[in-house]
């Protein structure tokens, strides 16, 4: 097989493996190199760039970096879930409240980790508030005996 064909196949393989990683990281292509991954029409000048060893090496590095970021997000998310589940067990949180929270905040993608967004929806806050009121009532009842 000709070297040009081998590099072309390697490029296509890298593109097919990189696209889902971009989607998983909720990331848009920024650089011209990243935009080539999502392009389907290449002109002659772009084909020269695509088939260069430097470009293929950069794509391999990009793939490695995205996989590393995804793994780091997974580890961080698992740590948060351990803390959340520990708090739930301490507070004896209702299953419906847990399910509501999990439905809103599952996964490990950047959107899930967005700390500027609302952590609790109004329905979840209402459940938390009723649970806190119940705990206060139980403590007050126990204390007044």
Whole-angstrom CA distances from 70 to 18, 62, 74, 97, 101 are 12, 12, 6, 28, 22
In 3D space, the residue among 54, 58, 129, 118 whose CA is nearest the CA of residue 91 turns out to be: 129
Across 115-123, average pLDDT: 55
Q: Contact at 8 Å (CB) between 109 and 73? A: yes
Q: Is the dihedral of CA 79, 81, 83, 85 positive or negative?
A: negative
pLDDT of residue 21: 92
- Percentage of residues in the chain having pLDDT higher than 70: 79
pLDDT digits (tens, 9 = 90+) for 87-107: 888 888 888 888 888 887 776
Structure tokens belonging to residue 20: 């889902």
**Average pLDDT score over residue span 58-73:** 94
């Amino acid at each position: 097989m000709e070297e040009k064909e081998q590099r072309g196949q390697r490029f296509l393989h890298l593109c097919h493996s990189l696209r889902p990683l971009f989607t998983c990281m909720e990331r848009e292509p920024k650089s011209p190199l990243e935009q080539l991954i999502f392009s389907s029409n290449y002109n002659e000048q772009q084909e020269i760039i695509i088939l260069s060893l430097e470009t293929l090496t950069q794509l391999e590095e990009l793939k490695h970096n995205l996989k590393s970021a995804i793994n780091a997000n997974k580890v961080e998310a698992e740590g948060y879930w351990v803390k959340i589940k520990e708090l739930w067990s301490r507070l004896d949180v209702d299953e419906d409240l847990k399910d509501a929270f999990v439905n809103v905040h599952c996964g490990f993608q950047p959107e899930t980790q967005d700390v500027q967004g609302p952590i609790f929806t109004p329905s979840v806050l209402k459940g938390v508030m009723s649970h806190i009121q119940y705990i206060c009532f139980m403590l007050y009842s126990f204390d007044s005996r």
